[in-house]
Amino acid sequence: MSQLSVVFKRELASYFATPLAYVFIVIFLVLAGSFAFFFGGFFQNGQADLKAFFNYHPWLYLFLVPALSMRLWAEERKSGTLELLMTLPISLRDMVLGKYLAAWVFTGIALFLTFPMWFTVNYLGDPDNGVILGSYVGSWFMAGAMLAVGSCISACTKNQVIAFILTVVVCFLMMVSGMDIVMGWVPGWMADWVMESIAALSFLTHFNAFAKGVLDLRDIVYFCIMIVGWLMATAIVIDMKKAS
Amino acid sequence: MRVSKWFSGAGLVVLAVVVLFSTLFTDWLFKGARVDLTEGGLYTLSDGSKNIVAGLERPLELYFFFSDSTTKEALGWRSYAKQVRELLEEYVLASNGKITLTVIDPEPFSEDEDRAAAFGLQAAPIGNSGDSVYFGLVAQYGELVEGATPEENERATLQIPFFKPDRQEFLEYDIAKMIYQVSQERKPRVALIAGLEVDGGFNMMMRQPTQPWFTVAQVKQLFDVTTLGNDEDEIANEDYDLLVVIHPKELTQQTLFAIDQYVLRGGHALFFVDPYAEQSQGAASKASDDLNKLFNAWGVDVSTSEFIGDAQLALQVSGANGQPMRHLGILQLSDQNLARDNQIVSQLETLHLSTAGYLKPVEKATTEMIALMKSTQYAMPIVSSKLDMMQDPRALGVGFNPTGEEYVLAATVRGQVKTAFPDGVPVSEGEASSEDAPTPEATVESADDPSAEAKPAEYLQESVKPINVIIVADTDVLTDRLWVQVQQFFGQSMATPFADNGDFFFNSVDMLSGSGDLISIRGQGRYFRPFTVVKEMQREAEARFQNVEQDLQNQLEQVEQQLLQLQSQQGEAGNTITLTPEVEAQLMQFQQQKLKIRKQLRDVQHQLNKDIEQLDFTLKLINIALVPVLLTLLVVGVAVYRRRKR
């Protein structure tokens, strides 16, 4: 068994060993359902699609994913188990990736458990299931990208609360970059490509592309770059902290 | 040691830069690599587009204008523009070099901006800054000859002045239509005979002009439409590819004969007739029986005094007090009611008809009647005079008893036919008045027609080839109110359809007059995916409560009548102040009865929505609580199991 899968399994099992998994999943499901029905007006709209459901995912993740990711490294660091981990014959890469994948798969499980929504909409009418599939994939990728951000920030601090708040802030900025709220701050003399790339960083635009029902390679690659980039940053931060 | 160099602050900076650059590069590196999961392949170039592009004989130049520099902050518009540009690039790829694309950023006060304006593109203020933004497309068809004068180089030019956000779903169609249109050397020619104000008229009640029908206006863009009067002597096949007749009133015998001969000579025709055209008032709303003379000769009879009510298809409308109710005469047709194997309607999602008549084959018909639209079996014909004084659409439900038959609302008629005028050419009224005793209603309008006398020898007794006509037993289907909202957007009328009526008319004209490629693109977007289960529940509940409600309503009216009578008796007796105890008791009784019935009525109305509210509640419960509750049980179960094991 490779080291990666050992870390992955240990980590995933640890979620279910504590009430964390239960609390997270229940809150996610209740909120996702409530938002779709009460705020999104899913039933009143009378339209057989899950827009009312997926529209709230980014905002749900904004608070739930940091809650999940804050403990990834900060907890180990505080309890001193990080040093212990470092002495084990496991490469840094496997450790970062294993922990991250466990968290990502965990959000996938939570997302999967929203399947009654899919049954509901198929019972009520004749939805475009391609669009729904695309939305699910996009939603999962977005959760993954946010987790990667959270992983890096969690590695930076011992304090889980600080990790949580910082992750929320950074994810929020990543989400709205490209919108007026961010672009208004970018000085007008900046080169076009800087503006372009800031706009291209937005989670929301890429998620919305998925939610249309189109799996565009660019959107997939974007999320992959985000995940890989933030995970590499995580590794660098951990290594720097270790050195100091 | 070399590796650890990366594990530093500098490493983080390098990483950030690499990530930024790669997000930028992927944007143009992986263009066009995508899997389209949508049902209709909404984001993929369709075969219809490819066919249109393949049909191009001469080079086509596309100029895509987008104010790139002034929309830095308007992300939504930028992503839409990107979608447009990529779709155009797909067209270029599919065209084998026939199409060239030039992307232009018309910066303010630049030559490009002047060019955009000269092409007739529109600038719209966008975002907080309110800068004028160009976002349009120009197509020019034909080759430029070197050294030729500008006049000689006059090329067919068309433009999409501005890509409107709510047409995003129809982007491909809009572009394909423009390419098709600009490359047409000659537009198909359509003759139109209309008895209704299809080109707009004047509303006496509102004292303002009415808009032209959007269906007709749309067709006029792509076809060369000539409006004929209702006194045509001849409709020449060489001049027209298609004849469209919309609810004509008082067609002269000459016109009918002209239509007859036109069809016998193999001319394609499209008819809209209606037992009750809501767009015109009074006697004009009734169908003219004249056309049935032709239809009967073609083996079809169209109802002129009855329309179809259908309990299953009845559309929900808002009643006088704004509460929703179903109108038996306004029908919403979908998949099951449309001929799936017919290209005209196969792609359509929803059609709205209002007080449509029905078609049935006559005995010994020599033609084949192929249904395009059908009612369900929960339908029955209703006498159209019922509509004249109708206040409340629910009145149609009284005595409604479905016959179990599916009625044909529109059909294609094909086959060999004989003329409807076996006795020859009818004499024009003008001539009749000069020869015979003058009739009072005769108007001298088409007199002095020397050809009328020469015709008898020439006219056709039967069709030279199988005829091909479409008859639709409804004209309201063409009116805006049943399918589209037209709004003004920067001085342009912008249409937001909520049904496919426009597509239906367009498809029919398109098919009968020749080309059919655009059809395959149209109707790809499905903007209407209703909760079928909820609609079915509504229908059932209404059917269940309709009779109860009607009974109560009648009771209420009776009681009110009695109450009124009593009060007036009281008034006549001049005894308004003192009431006899008996009368008083009776009054009280009536009033209490009235209150009771009203309460019952409210209950019935409440009952109507009860099932649906119950469903709403159940679904909320399932989606919000079911899985969490199951998980809780699981967690508790596991905990108990573990404790026992210990």
pLDDT digits (tens, 9 = 90+) for B157-192: 888 999 887 777 778 888 888 888 888 777 788 898
Nearest to B37 among A22, A215, A232 (CB): A215
Please list every residue in chain A whose beta carbon sits closer than 8 Å to the beta carbon of residue B42: 212-213
Query: What mean pLDDT is predicted for residues B332-350?
Result: 80
Quote the pLDDT of residue B455.
47
Mean pLDDT score of chain B: 79
Residues B595-646: tens digit of each pLDDT: 888 788 788 777 777 888 888 899 999 988 888 999 889 888 988 998 888 7
Is B2 a residue whose pLDDT tops 50? no
Is B263 a residue whose pLDDT tops 50? yes
Query: What mean pLDDT is predicted for residues B362-376?
Result: 88
- Provide the shortest C-alpha distance from residue A43 to chain B (in Å): 7
Quote the pLDDT of residue B82.
80
Is B193 a residue whose pLDDT tops 80? yes
- Provide the shortest C-alpha distance from residue B1 to chain A (in Å): 13
Is B523 a residue whose pLDDT tops 60? no
Please list every residue in chain B whose beta carbon sits closer than 8 Å to the beta carbon of residue A33: 620, 623-625
Beta-strand runs (E) in B273-406: 300-302, 306-310, 314-318, 324-333, 351-354, 359-361, 367-374, 379-383
Interchain proximity B35–A215, CB inside 8 Å: yes
A190-194, B258-262, B300-304, B352-356: range with lowest mean pLDDT: A190-194
Transcribe B512-556 into DSSP letters: HTS--HHHHHTT-S----B-HHHHHHHHHHHHHHHHHHHHHHHHH
Please list every residue in chain B whose beta carbon sits closer than 8 Å to the beta carbon of residue A26: 628, 631-632
Dihedral angle computed from the Cα positions of residues B359, B364, B368 and B371, in that order, rounded to the nearest 10 degrees: 20
Quote the pLDDT of residue B438.
38
Amino acid letter, B564: L
Q: Residue B40 — pLDDT band, cuts 50, 70, 90?
A: low
Q: At what angle do helices A92-112 and A3-17 cross, to 10 degrees?
A: 50
Check CB contact of B25 with chain A, cutoff 8 Å: no
What own/partner pairs with CB < 8 Å and gap ≥ 24 does B209-218 have?
Answer: B211/B480, B211/B486, B211/B493, B213/B478, B213/B479, B213/B480, B214/B480, B214/B484, B214/B486, B214/B495, B214/B502, B215/B478, B215/B479, B215/B480, B215/B501, B215/B502, B215/B505, B215/B506, B216/B192, B216/B478, B216/B505, B218/B502, B218/B505, B218/B506
For A91-120, b/e burial (b = at least 16 CB within 10 A) is ebebbbbbbbbbbbbbbeebbebbebbbeb
Chain B residues 73-92 with CB within 8 Å of chain A:
73, 75, 78-79
The closest of B286, B549, B279, B534 to B397, measured between CA atoms, is B549
- Provide the shortest C-alpha distance from residue A69 to chain B (in Å): 20
Is B218 a residue whose pLDDT tops 70? yes
The closest of A216, A47, A30 to A141, measured between CA atoms, is A216
Please list every residue in chain A whose beta carbon sits closer than 8 Å to the beta carbon of residue B165: none
- Provide the shortest C-alpha distance from residue B8 to chain A (in Å): 6
The closest of B379, B405, B408, B407 to B471, measured between CA atoms, is B408
B contact test, residue of A239, A241, A242, A244 with most B CBs within 10 A:
A239
Nearest CA in chain B to A196: B24
Q: Residue B387 — pLDDT band, cuts 50, 70, 90?
A: confident
Quote the pLDDT of residue B441.
41
Higher pLDDT, B515 or B289: B289
Check CB contact of B20 with chain A, cutoff 8 Å: yes
Interchain proximity A222–B23, CB inside 8 Å: yes
A contact test, residue of B34, B36, B67, B75 with most A CBs within 10 A:
B75
A to B CB pairs, distance under 8 Å: 172
Nearest CA in chain A to B18: A229
- Provide the shortest C-alpha distance from residue B636 to chain A (in Å): 11
Nearest to A184 among B42, B73, B622 (CB): B73
Could you report the average pLDDT of every consecutive run of 10 residues in chain A (244 residues)? 83 84 90 91 82 90 92 83 78 89 94 93 88 93 94 90 93 79 65 68 84 85 92 89 70
- Provide the shortest C-alpha distance from residue A240 to chain B (in Å): 6
Please list every residue in chain A whose beta carbon sits closer than 8 Å to the beta carbon of residue B16: 229, 233
Quote the pLDDT of residue B129.
64
Is B283 a residue whose pLDDT tops 60? no
The H or E element that residue B645 is part of is: helix B627-645
Please list every residue in chain A whose beta carbon sits closer than 8 Å to the beta carbon of residue B8: 236, 240
Check CB contact of B533 with chain A, cutoff 8 Å: yes
Interchain proximity A130–B37, CB inside 8 Å: yes
Check CB contact of B13 with chain A, cutoff 8 Å: no
- Provide the shortest C-alpha distance from residue B599 to chain A (in Å): 27
Please list every residue in chain A whose beta carbon sits closer than 8 Å to the beta carbon of residue B626: 116
- Provide the shortest C-alpha distance from residue B637 to chain A (in Å): 13
Length of chain B counted residue by residue: 646
Chain B residues 429-488 with CB within 8 Å of chain A:
none
Query: What mean pLDDT is predicted for residues B80-108?
Result: 85
Nearest CA in chain A to B31: A218
Residues B535-573: tens digit of each pLDDT: 788 777 777 777 777 777 787 788 778 777 877 776 666
Interchain proximity A214–B73, CB inside 8 Å: no
Is B201 a residue whose pLDDT tops 80? no
Check CB contact of B109 with chain A, cutoff 8 Å: no
Query: What mean pLDDT is predicted for residues B67-71?
Result: 82
- Provide the shortest C-alpha distance from residue B124 to chain A (in Å): 18
Q: Residue B300 — pLDDT band, cuts 50, 70, 90?
A: very high
Please list every residue in chain A whose beta carbon sits closer than 8 Å to the beta carbon of residue B72: 183, 192, 195, 199
Quote the pLDDT of residue B280.
57
Nearest CA in chain A to B3: A236
